Amino acid sequence: MEHRELGNSGVEVSEIGFGAWVVGTDWWGDRSDDQAVAMVEEALDAGVTYVDTGDVYGHGDSEAIIGEAIDGRRDEVTLSTKIGYDFYDNPQAGHGELPKELNREYLTEAFEASLDRLDTDYVDVLQLHNANVDEVTPEVRDLLREWKEDGRVRALGWALGPSIGWLAEGDAAVEYEEFDAVQTVFNLFEQEPGRHFVETIRESGSDTSVMARVPHSSGLLNEQVTPDTVLEDGDHRSHRPKEWYETGWEKVEAIRFLEDPEGVEGTRTMAQAAIRWLLAHDEVASVTPTFRDGDDIAEWSAAADVPPISDAEYERLEELYARNFDVDRDDGMDVLRTSVDGEDIQAAGLDKRAASY
């Protein structure tokens, strides 16, 4: 497993990370706490040492599980959590978004609670969770700097979501000197606004890193959602229209060449190729897939060992993306396209598509 620096913070993250939204909730399959702890330990043993959790995942349960899993191994782990949602005073309604609180008093209390659950006195990365650009005030930025200066936080990030298209927020994360990383949905099929942030970082000379989540496009690129898959009502991906999956399966067939790269020894699974494509961008520090079990951990952590995407493959993918992978029909997502304030997204010619947490 290779590691990359997060911005210029000195914090190194494994190129493949553990998205701990999978533990502490039943949104990605139901498992006992012991099974969840064992899965985290298995990932660490496979070299997946960047662990990305959040206080709202299971309303603290994910952090508590991570704290137990890394007990005695804290020095092996690059630990990240997120704060900003007020789940203490608001009930969870399905997968709906909770109210946010981004003021000094609330953030301080939330951060202290996270440290308690994680059983640590510092985190390597602290991220603001889905904060709108107008919520990240000078007061908030001052507080984040204080935590960084006193050593309780080593690096800062801004996590975007749950939908794609947070253009102003990502641009602010790149612009503000406090932030070392911006986390966003980014994959071969859903490339905006990730591409925009990569280009902005290159053009501005910023040190900001991109953290890519949902790298497998909600089950398409790891082929866990196939034409034979029946998504249950409680599955977080079931809100996607069937046309989105149908066009997605056609796109997968258009990129089968990635599984057997030309001119080099070795093969890749589609899931591994999707990760390698993201890591072909120097600006991407880590990719956090949603591991469901040991098989996922074994396959996806091994993406570090398969052939990287070649220049010729990258260019071919660029051409296919420009042609919508030669799929000439609607993906059914128009009814779900929204925007935070909308104007910045529209002005940039970008879509904002509903996506999973």
Question: What pLDDT is recorded for position 291?
Answer: 93
Lowest mean pLDDT among 125-129, 203-207, 226-230: 226-230
Residues 6+ apart with CB under 8 A from 19: 52, 213, 288, 289, 290, 291
Whole-number Å distance between alpha carbons of 68 and 119: 8
Confidence of residue 263 (pLDDT cuts 50, 70, 90): confident
Q: What is the pLDDT of the chain when averaged over all its residues? A: 88
Q: Examine the pLDDT at 354 and tell me if it is beyond 60.
A: no
Question: What pLDDT is recorded for position 345?
Answer: 53
Strand-strand pairing, 153-159 and 123-129: parallel
Lowest mean pLDDT among 45-59, 125-139, 226-240: 226-240
Q: Examine the pLDDT at 357 and tell me if it is beyond 70.
A: no
Residue closest to 76 by CA, chosen among 50, 53, 102, 100: 50
Taking phi over 0 as left and psi of -120 to 50 as alpha, with beta for the rest, 278 belongs to: alpha
Going by the DSSP 8-state scheme, the letter that residue 217 receives in this structure is: G
Lowest mean pLDDT among 94-103, 112-121, 234-243, 338-347: 338-347
Q: Examine the pLDDT at 13 and tell me if it is beyond 80.
A: yes
Contact of 59 with 13, CB cutoff 8 Å: no
Q: How many CA atoms lie within 13 A of 334 on its CB side?
A: 4
Average pLDDT over residues 323-341: 70
Of residues 250 and 236, which shows the higher confidence score?
Answer: 250
Lowest mean pLDDT among 127-131, 178-182, 263-267: 263-267
pLDDT single digits (tens) 213-244? 999 998 999 998 877 777 666 666 666 778 88
Dihedral angle computed from the Cα positions of residues 244, 337, 191 and 78, in that order, rounded to the nearest 10 degrees: -100
Confidence of residue 93 (pLDDT cuts 50, 70, 90): low
Contact of 100 with 85, CB cutoff 8 Å: yes
Average pLDDT over residues 147-154: 97
Q: Examine the pLDDT at 253 and tell me if it is beyond 90.
A: yes
Residues 6+ apart with CB under 8 A from 310: 261, 262, 263, 264
Residue type, 60: G
Residues 6+ apart with CB under 8 A from 237: 218, 219, 225, 231, 356
pLDDT single digits (tens) 33-44? 788 899 999 999
Q: Examine the pLDDT at 352 and tell me if it is beyond 50.
A: no
Lowest mean pLDDT among 49-53, 138-142, 330-334: 330-334
Contact of 129 with 139, CB cutoff 8 Å: no
Question: What pLDDT is recorded for position 356?
Answer: 33
Whole-number Å distance between alpha carbons of 101 and 115: 18
Question: What pLDDT is recorded for position 320?
Answer: 98
- Over pLDDT 90: what percentage of the chain? 69
Of residues 253 and 338, which shows the higher confidence score?
Answer: 253
Q: Examine the pLDDT at 275 and tell me if it is beyond 90.
A: yes
All structural domains of the chain, each given as residue ranges with its CATH number in brackets, are 3-232+270-309 (3.20.20.100)
Q: Examine the pLDDT at 259 and tell me if it is beyond 80.
A: yes
* Cα dihedral 256, 245, 271, 294 sign: negative
DSSP-assigned beta bridge partners for residue 85: 100
Whole-structure pTM value = 0.90
Q: Examine the pLDDT at 339 and tell me if it is beyond 80.
A: no
Average pLDDT over residues 110-138: 96
Helix (H) or strand (E) holding 324: none
Strands (E), the chain: 3-5, 12-14, 17-19, 50-52, 78-83, 123-129, 153-159, 181-185, 209-213, 284-288
Structure tokens, 307: 């052939």
Question: What pLDDT is recorded for position 336?
Answer: 52
Q: Examine the pLDDT at 249 and tell me if it is beyond 60.
A: yes
pLDDT single digits (tens) 99-114? 889 999 999 999 999 9
